[in-house]
A and B are shown apart, each in its own frame.
Chain A
Amino acid sequence: MQSNQKSPKLWVTSMFLSMVICFNIIALITPDKEFSETENRMLAQSPSVTAKSIADGSAEKNIEKYLSDQFAFRDAWSAISFFTKCYLFREKESNGVYIGKDNYLMLIPSESNPEAMEKKLSSVNAVTEKYGNIRHFISIIPNAVTIMNHKLPSHVPESIQPGQITDISQSLKGITFCDVTGLMKKHQYEELYYHTDHHWTSRGAFLAFTAIAPAMQLNPDNIQYDIYTVSESFEGTLSSKSGSHRYYDKIEIYVPKGEHPVTVKYSDKDETSGTIYQKSFLDTKDKYALFLGGNHPLVTITTTADTDRTLLLIKDSYANCFVQFLTPYFDQIVVVDPRYCYDTVDMIINEYEITDLLYLYNADTFMTDTSLTDLLAFE
């Protein structure tokens, strides 16, 4: 390339080649990362290129995925593309996320697959019918896009979630449907959801609890809470997804006043813990994992409540910060995440002598995730 650098006519070509070479050198000297904290996912690793993978064309896809996953400064690139889209072109969404007012980021709601939804709902109905001796409850939590619509960019079409939730409630039989949309909507000006994350805040979960508790015959007035702010530097998943890094959320926890000891046991770990909060996660990017240490296949929480009630909570990650409100009311809570749990609901109900069953999902996951159907399948 000496001839290039000598020739004054090849400025752009020299620029291109030197930039590309720099990136290749950086790629060579930096070790591959296994996990991306900002994106909260495993990154593609060096693909093994075999005769077979070349022949079926998978080698190309794997190499391309590996190169882009391991490309240096991934976060900086998404910030540059966010800057281009939202400052230069003034777009109101980035990578499936609405760029709302006051730095509010909100996931664009997903449509459900009608067939998969019908299967899911009929398996819920089948479980309700089979276990007539226990109490069944379900609550679908609308996402920020539905509740905090005053923070959305102007003219965003009305959320499809209220319609989806009504359809679900009408298709279920023999189960108490706990509606929280109306109450949350009334409190829409409070911080019910994180700005930078797709989860709700403890405040949002508490509000929903006051609506769900009466339906579950729990008295929410019995318990008072100490509210602690445990972090003020939470930058959640929607920041990473959209590339917008302009706000830090605070995380609050609601600790019931008085003595409420718990023993928490994770099925995928050997240790037990005396708290549902795993504070070590506050030092990581994934601070929401403070609640129950993120998602586990099955968690049992044993309390001293002495109410003769055992709850099976079938849930997604929204429920992780909801559990703090349930512990004073049940002797034992079995928390099951069907996305990671390969047991069947029959086994769990019989083994733990379940008296109450609550399905708690956020609307977006309930619309798209199909693992619930597998968990509820009978043998």
Chain B
Amino acid sequence: MSLSGVFFVFLFFPSSILLYRLIPEKWRNSLLLALSLIFISFGNPADLILIGLSTVFNYFTALEIDGLRSMKREKTKKLVLATGIAVNTALLIFYKYFVFLMSNIGLNVNFGIPAAPVGLSFFTFSAISCLCDVSKGDETPLKNPFDFALFISFFGKLSSGPIVKYRDMARQIKDRTMTATSVESGMKLFLIGLGKKLIISGSLGKFFNAFRTQDISTMSTVTAWLGALFYSLMLYYDFSGYSDMAIGIGRIFGFSFSKNFDHPFISSSMTDFWRRWHISLGAWFRDYIYIPMGGSRVSKSRHILNLSVVWLLTGLWHGANWTFVVWGLYHLVLLLLEKMVFKKILKRIPTIIKTILTFLLTVIGWTIFFSDSLSTAEAYLLRMFGLGGSGLVDSMGKYYLASGGILLFVAMIGATPLLSAIGSKIEKRDSVLVKVSTAVFFALLLLISTAFMISETVSSFLYAQF
């Protein structure tokens, strides 16, 4: 079920809110779990079996690890933990990477791999975080299996993240407070996310699809850059829109999830970018891969190895294709250069230049990311740098600049903190006029989002296929 579809926005979500308010508090978790199961089974009921098996396995594994930890049987605990992680990883590999791995060693997979269950990459990472947190003693396991099932399958975050860590959510399942303020801010965030996804990302996506069908070999430089810009902003609005909706839904039901995006396009370095882009994924890799491997408090060569592992896996997480691997390594190289080679020089460069440079470098990265294969990525990059193709600018480039220029500009302004700063300044004034105009603004946002939802077939969430 898509969070931005008619069924979810106009039926499932509002009825969930009303039911949640109406039933006694002790039934609320059961309600959320029931709703989550309906949410999963609506797309493909077979997913219920797999998510159910994963839940049961991780629930008992977490209890076992906790038992061994309290008995101080470290070796056995580590063995169980390793098994648990291996089983989760095996699930991920089977559904997402098996065909890719086999084809790379020259084997064709002749049997059909079933489609990956909804949110596989997100919920297996949540499950692994649970096993690790319990093993370290950071958090106790949820004793009630239904509570644990809610942690894995809560419909707000299941399909598209953010990747919620166990230690951030476990306690909230047992004890959370729902205030009017959190509900109201959650609703605002949900509507902002819906607008980002349907109005901006949807429009940018239409343009990008037109670029997709173009012959790369004859593209002009300006056209190539425009296509890359449309994609970069579309991806940001799509993914951060979904994250806003998920976090908003969480807040409405009393959960507090950390933000997943923090204006990534104003980053002044690649390090800064990764503190602002898909924050929950970066945090997961940091906490469960990078730091356990020793992080940066090791020899220089070991540090480089640690980073390499993290960025190889980050690339692969996005999909089973060499383009994602190369995209991950591209970021690795940039980060290493930034940290180890140009550190001193960069300090002397003005922030504005560093920000523009970082933006351009990430846009170049996305061209590798959106290409179907490394050879098309190579051709595309050559066109961006004016090699081959049809010169600096062609009529196609001019047309898309004329037709999509304002949208691009609006999208870029919207990606800076400017609008949210204005918004929070206005909201601080506590007058009825401000409240009425805020409600009118959000009503308009809902109406325009609905217009885009109804008037065209909305492309589905990009990250759901990763």
A116 on the B face (CB < 8 A): no
A91 touches B407 (CB 8 A): yes
Q: How far is the CA of A154 from the CA of B410 in the complex (A)?
A: 21
Determine the chain B residues whose CB is within 8 A of the CB of A78 once the complex forms: 451, 454-455
Q: Which of A12, A77, A92 contacts B188 (CB 8 A)?
A: A12
Enumerate A58-93 residues with CB–CB distance to B below 8 Å: 59-60, 63-64, 67-68, 71, 74, 77-78, 80-82, 84-85, 88-93
Cβ contacts under 8 Å, A16 to chain B: 14, 187, 191, 442, 446
Asked whether any CB of chain B lies closer than 8 Å to the CB of A57, the reply is: yes
A6-41 contacts to B (CB < 8 Å): 7-13, 15-17, 19-21, 23-24
CB-CB < 8 A to A17: which residues of B?
14, 17-18
Which residues of A have CB within 8 Å of B448?
A: 80-81, 84
Residues of B within 8 A of A88 (CB): 406
- Which one of B41-49, B96-104, B154-162, B232-240 contacts A? B41-49
- Determine if A64 and B7 form an interchain contact, defined as CB atoms under 8 angstroms apart: yes
- With beta carbons under 8 angstroms apart, the residue of A1, A13, A156, A243 that contacts B399 is A156
Would A54 and B45 be within 8 Å (CB), given that A91-B407, A92-B402 are in contact? yes
* Interchain CB contact under 8 A, B399 and A155: yes
Which chain B positions have C-beta within 8 A of A57? 43-44
Interface size on A, residues (CB 8 A): 51
Cβ–Cβ contact A158 & B10, under 8 A: no
Contact assessment for A13 and B396 in the assembled complex, using a CB-CB cutoff below 8 Å:
no
- Cross-chain contact A20 with B187 (CB below 8 angstroms): no
In the complex, which residues 1-52 of chain B have their Cβ closer than 8 Å to any Cβ of chain A?
1-2, 5-7, 9-11, 14, 17-18, 21, 41-46
| Chain A residues with CB under 8 A of B44 | 57
A153 touching B402, Cβ below 8 Å = yes
Q: A77-B451, A81-B452 are in contact. Are A23 and B439 (CB under 8 A)?
A: no
In this assembly, does B343 line the interface, its C-beta being within 8 Å of a C-beta of chain A?
no
Once the chains are docked, how many angstroms separate the CA of A156 from the CA of B9? 37
Interface size of B by Cβ–Cβ distance < 8 Å? Answer: 58
A157 interface residue per 8 A CB criterion: yes
Chain B residue numbers with a CB within 8 Å of A63 are: 7
Asked if A343 is an interface residue, CB under 8 A from chain B, the answer is no
Is there an interface contact between B10 and A23, defined as CB atoms closer than 8 Å?
A: yes
Interface centre among B14, B451, B452 (most CB of A within 10 A): B451
- B171 → A minimal CB distance (Å): 25
Q: Does B79 contact A (CB under 8 A)?
A: no
Instruction: Tell me, rounded to whole Å, the shortest Cβ–Cβ distance linking A319 to chain B.
Output: 30
A3 interface residue per 8 A CB criterion: yes
Q: Can you give 28 contacting A-B residue pairs, CB < 8 Å?
A: A1-B18, A7-B180, A10-B180, A12-B184, A12-B438, A16-B14, A16-B187, A17-B17, A54-B41, A60-B1, A63-B7, A68-B454, A77-B451, A78-B454, A80-B447, A80-B448, A84-B448, A84-B452, A85-B203, A89-B404, A89-B406, A90-B403, A92-B402, A111-B213, A153-B403, A155-B402, A157-B394, A157-B399
| Residues of B in contact with A (beta carbons under 8 Å apart) | 1-2, 5-7, 9-11, 14, 17-18, 21, 41-46, 180-181, 183-184, 187-188, 191, 199, 203, 213, 252, 394-396, 398-399, 401-407, 410, 435-436, 438-439, 442-443, 446-448, 450-456
Q: Which 9 interchain pairs have the tightest Cβ spacing?
A: A80-B451, A92-B403, A155-B398, A155-B399, A78-B455, A77-B454, A81-B451, A9-B180, A81-B455
